[in-house]
Amino acid sequence: MFEFSIIRKYLVPRRKQLSVSLIALMSIVVISLVVWLLLLFLSVTEGIEKNWLGRLTALNAPVRIVPTDLYYHSYYYKIDSISQNSNYCPKSIHEKLVSLVSDPYDEEVDEAIPLQWPIALREQNGQLVDIVKKTFTTFDHLRTSTPSLIARDYEITGVMLRLNLLRPSLMGGEEQSFLSQVSYVSTFPKDAKNVHSLFTAPTVSDINLLLFKKKQRFYEILSHVDVQEITTNYSWSLPIDLIPEKGKFKGYRTAAAIVLSANGNEVYTKDRLKELKLPIRVQEKVVMKASIENESLLSAIKLEEVKLKVSANLQGNHLSGNLYFKDVELNKASAKAAFDSIPQITPLWAYTINNEAFLPSENSVIIPKNFRDNGVSIGDVGVFSFGSFGATSVQEQTLNIEVAGFYDPGLMVVGARPIFADNGIVQTISSSSSSIPLDPLLCNGIQIWFDDLSETNKIASTLQKKLEEEGVAPYWEIKTFYDYDFAKDLLLQFKSDRYLFTLIGIVILVVACTNIISLLLLLVHTKKKEIAILQVLGATKYQIAAIFGASGALLGIISSAIGTILGLITLNNLDALVKFLSFIQGQEAFNSAFYGSSLPNTVSQQAILLILIATPILSLVAGLIPATKACKFPPAQTLRTE
Amino acid sequence: MLKVQSIKKKYLFPTETEILSDINFEMAEGEILAIMGPSGSGKSTLLHIIGSLETPSEGQILLHNQNIDSIPTSLYRQKHVGFVFQSFHLLEDYTAFENLLLPCKIARKSVKKGSESYERALLLIRSMGLMERMDYPAKLLSGGEKQRIAVARALMNDPSLLLADEPTGNLDAKNGRILSELLLRSSRQFGKSLILVTHDPILAAMCDRILHIHDGRIAC
């Protein structure tokens, strides 16, 4: 194709055509920058949206089925309230599911069914249709086409959370404070997709507090902790064995101890310290590299018998040896919370086994991570306080609970940040107040998880069809995460942000591509004579137009390729870029409460597609304007005047 | 072979001017025709009309009894005519050989090594005595060399008619003579008809026939 050889000659920078080369370079730089920015923004927006959607659907499930009014007014639901077999209490979905009888009514024992009650929905053989069980059967059918589907019932209820925050006192001993907060409590979605990814692992401070509060359970705690560094507290005394033979320390003497201090005016050797037979204190906290001696952990009866292998530097002397776990606390350590198989020793915090989440005990709860800001730590104990209807009055009841972990709810409204507790706890609370549910649609329902969120609508409509086939559809309302009130606004916000920026990006891209028009018009002007020669040699108008049109498209392709590559490199090093921006600004460039610990990003396929299609097309269109001009030159006249 | 019938050319702007009026002549196959006349008499315009670089206001041109208007312009320029201009009109950034191959590339012919076009380009550049200059960029060639390349380029697509517009006009006497001989010899050697616009009576005398144009009319 002779057109390409001409394009190559025109676009390769030459000193002779400096202005053309400079404008070409500028066009490429500007378009690349726009492409880079567009890719970066759309990828980060998509990343944030995906991240948020991940959290939203992990906590609240992508599809929820909630009972309709018809369910609550059905014979199936109401019959429990007049049946002795159901203790005259309406049953939750979970209770209905595990109940052995579908129709608890016994006409010999129970009162007569009120006349205004709806007629019971019965099978052809006269048996009551068990709506809940039938609904769960439809999930089995759905699992054939969506094997990853998990369905479980949930309950949400409100409680007063009261936590007792017991902490070690700086002066020794302990001090305590209390935290009370009205909260929502929801069933812990232990097998929900990705729920494990929301857990935040226990921190060093959590482990230290656990060791303080549950000292006697040190073995269960330390078995799952990898200790790397410890620090001493004020009452720690330095064992003589750690001191090197030739070590020399500055310090001073008090009536009860030798205090090692860089400001001391006496020098102590190991021999001298042995002679004095006084406890050796260190004025500053000492940070030591440490690891637990496993044998001592197995044989220790109390925490103080656990040995640590330590090494440290004190006043230029190298300390090393073994140290008992006394008057020290962890400074750097990591706790294991994810296991491949059932751990031999159950951790004292929430943990996962192959992505399935577990609570350490029946009264364990997982709370949103913002409670950390209120000083709550793993191992803190307290109560759920709630009202229960007695014969004459509302009585306050409490259930003991213990914080077993934190989860990161991301950007959720308070109502969508419940405390997760064992099913038993939630049922106890909700059954005590279920006689007057404020919003029954939100209190009880079924959550459905699956892997591919893009299939949400398809799965919801398949489910609707199945429920209709089973004849139980009127009793349920299917809601996808697009319908959740607490998510709707944010989802719309993400969508409109994406559209808006794509629109702005395209406008900027169009403006950038107009540079190509100027460049090619200049090129057409300077190459007028060559165009006429090509026409004389028989080049068609299309061939001439193709040279300039393709030049524009080529500039677009080169620019979008450069912009895309730069964008991908930037996305791979986004954390470094954010750090750099934060450093320049002198403050956090992106709010971690909103974006998380690192700016999430997913290479936006949509952006890449847009860039790779729109940029060359826009550039081609930009190239066609000068191309039209070029092919209209009358060759004879041009050659005469040039 | 070529019939020029009642050709008229008028320019309407800035004022109505008749450049050519009622031009009629015929040319035989392989004939070499010189067109002479004073500046502004319409010689170059006539040549451009024959080469379809301009359109006549009236009249028609038949090549091998076919009206050239019925042939697509680009195809006519590619296949039937070859141009040689006074100012050479080579692509300066291309080498001499690349300039030769250009008409074939435009006509979408293969120019790979060993192809018919490639071999023809080699034959032509050799016959012009410029083998050692084939890889030189055109801008580095002398005027005479450029014009020889231009002649070779005009012959590349094997046209039946060569049109030369004052081909020696930008050359010194010696180079002009060499070029004239080369042009006439090549035209005869390859059996091409040649229309030559010139002011040089010696060159015109070397042609088979001379056509004088005065004020847009054939003088005799």
Pairing of strands B193-197, B32-36: parallel
The overall longest dimension of chain B from CA atoms, in Å, is: 54
Distance CA A84, CA A104 (A): 8
Per-residue pLDDT at A495 exceeds 70: yes
Q: Which among B54, B87, B103 is the nearest to A537, CB-wise?
A: B103
Is A230 found in the same domain as A123?
no
DSSP state of A232: E
Question: Is A540 near chain B, with CB under 8 Å?
Answer: yes
**Residues 6 or more apart in contact with residue A418 via CB below 8 angstroms:** A156, A183, A184, A185, A186
Q: For position A288, what pLDDT does the model report? A: 92
Between chains, do B53 and A9 touch, taking CB under 8 Å as contact?
Answer: no
Is A597 found in the same domain as A619?
yes
Domain-located, residue A613: yes
Domain-located, residue A510: yes
Distance CA A3, CA A548 (A): 9
Question: Is A635 near chain B, with CB under 8 Å?
Answer: yes
Bond into B72 cis (ω within 30) = no
Considering Cα of A320, then A326, then A331, then A333, what sign does the dihedral take? positive
Residue A531's SS3 state is helix
Per-residue pLDDT at A441 exceeds 60: no
Mapped to the 3 state alphabet, what secondary structure does A268-328 carry?
A: EEHHHHHHHCCCEEECCCCEEEEEECHHHHHHCCCHHHCEEEEEEEECCEEEEEEEECCCE
Is A349 found in the same domain as A429?
yes
DSSP class per residue in B3-72: EEEEEEEEE-SSS-EEEEEEEEEEE-TT-EEEEE--TTSSHHHHHHHHTTSS--SEEEEEETTEEGGGS-
Q: How many CB atoms lie within 10 A of CB B181?
A: 12
Is A130 found in the same domain as A84?
yes
In this prediction, residue A598 has a pLDDT band, given cuts at 50, 70 and 90, of low
**Residues 6 or more apart in contact with residue A44 via CB below 8 angstroms:** A574, A599, A600, A601
The alpha carbon of residue B35 is apart from the nearest alpha carbon of chain A, in Å, by 18
Query: CA–CA distance from A203 to each of A212, A309, A335 (Å)?
Result: 14, 22, 7
Stronger pLDDT, A590 or A479, i.e. the higher one: A479
Query: CA–CA distance from A528 to each of A627, A629, B53 (Å)?
Result: 12, 10, 15
Q: For position A399, what pLDDT does the model report? A: 92
ipTM: 0.94
Is A500 found in the same domain as A398?
no
Q: Which among B85, B106, B157 is the nearest to A539, CB-wise?
A: B106
Is A581 found in the same domain as A568?
yes
What residues does B27 pair with on adjacent strands? B2
The alpha carbon of residue B90 is apart from the nearest alpha carbon of chain A, in Å, by 8
* Top-confidence range, A191-205, A597-611, B173-187: B173-187
Q: Most B CBs within 10 Å: which of A528, A536, A638, A640, as the mutation test of the B interface?
A: A536
Average pLDDT, stretch A34-55?
A: 84
Counted residue by residue, chain A has a size of: 642
Q: For position A169, what pLDDT does the model report? A: 80
Asked which of A277, A306, A335 is the last residue of a domain, the reply is A335
Q: For position A334, what pLDDT does the model report? A: 92
Question: Of A609, A605, A577, A199, nearest to A420 (Cα)?
Answer: A199
The count of domains in chain A is 4
Residues of B at the A interface, defined by Cβ within 8 angstroms? 48, 51, 53-54, 74-79, 83, 85, 87, 89-91, 93-94, 102-103, 105-107, 153, 157
Domain-located, residue A565: yes
Per-residue pLDDT at A404 exceeds 90: yes
Q: Which residue of B has its CA nearest to A633?
A: B53
Q: Which residue of B has its CA nearest to A540?
A: B74
CB-side exposure of A541: number of CA atoms within 13 Å? 10
> Quick check: A240 and A324 in contact, CB under 8 A?
no
In this prediction, residue A587 has a pLDDT band, given cuts at 50, 70 and 90, of confident
Is A514 found in the same domain as A452?
no
Q: Is A194 left (phi over 0), alpha (psi -120 to 50) or beta?
A: left
Over residues B49-70, the pLDDT tens digits come to 999 999 999 999 999 999 999 9
Take residue A157 and report the two structure tokens written for it. Answer: 């209820």
Per-residue pLDDT at A369 exceeds 60: yes
Q: For position A506, what pLDDT does the model report? A: 84
Distance CA A89, CA A523 (A): 86
Per-residue pLDDT at A591 exceeds 80: no
Question: Of A415, A440, A417, A419, nearest to A430 (Cα)?
Answer: A440
Q: For position A210, what pLDDT does the model report? A: 92
CB-side exposure of A170: number of CA atoms within 13 Å? 0
How far does CA A577 lie from the centroid of its chain? 21
Average pLDDT, stretch A327-336?
A: 91
Question: Of B111, B53, B102, B110, nearest to B77 (Cα)?
Answer: B53
Q: For position A436, what pLDDT does the model report? A: 47
Cβ contacts below 8 Å, chain A against chain B, sum to 51
Domain-located, residue A324: yes
What's the whole-model pTM score? 0.67
Given a cut of 70, the residues of chain B with pLDDT beneath it are: 220
Take residue A179 and report the two structure tokens written for it. Answer: 């935290």
Percentage of chain A surpassing pLDDT 70?
Answer: 95
Q: Find the radius of gyration of the CA atoms of chain B.
A: 17
Stronger pLDDT, A493 or B46, i.e. the higher one: B46
Is A570 found in the same domain as A551?
yes
Q: For position A175, what pLDDT does the model report? A: 87
**A514-548 CB burial, b ≥16 within 10 A, e <16:** ebbbebbbbbbeebbbbbbbbbbbbbbeebbbbbb
Distance CA B25, CA A222 (A): 112
Q: What residues of chain A, 541 to 580, have a C-beta less than 8 Å from chain B?
A: 541, 543
Q: Which residue has the tokens 């040699």?
A: A537
Asked which of A306, A335, A364 is the last residue of a domain, the reply is A335
Average pLDDT, stretch A194-214?
A: 86
Per-residue pLDDT at A642 exceeds 70: no
Domain-located, residue A207: no
Q: Which among B54, B93, B102 is the nearest to A537, CB-wise?
A: B102
Is A343 found in the same domain as A331?
no
Q: For position A484, what pLDDT does the model report? A: 80
Asked which of A431, A463, A481 is the last residue of a domain, the reply is A481
Domain boundaries, position A329: 225-335
Q: For position A1, what pLDDT does the model report? A: 76
Counted residue by residue, chain B has a size of: 220
Q: Chain B residues with CB inside 8 Å of A537's CB?
A: 77-78, 83, 102-103, 106, 153
Take residue A514 and report the two structure tokens written for it. Answer: 């107009």
Is A637 found in the same domain as A495?
yes
Is A420 found in the same domain as A352?
yes
Domain-located, residue A220: no
Q: Most A CBs within 10 Å: which of B11, B48, B49, as the mutation test of the A interface?
A: B48
Domain-located, residue A304: yes
Q: Phi first, then psi: what are they for A371, rounded to 5°?
A: -65, -25
Domain-located, residue A35: yes
Q: Chain A residues with CB inside 8 Å of B78's CB?
A: 537-538
Position A243: which residue type? Answer: I
Q: Which residue has the tokens 């750690």?
A: A242
In this prediction, residue A391 has a pLDDT band, given cuts at 50, 70 and 90, of low
Is A452 found in the same domain as A420?
no
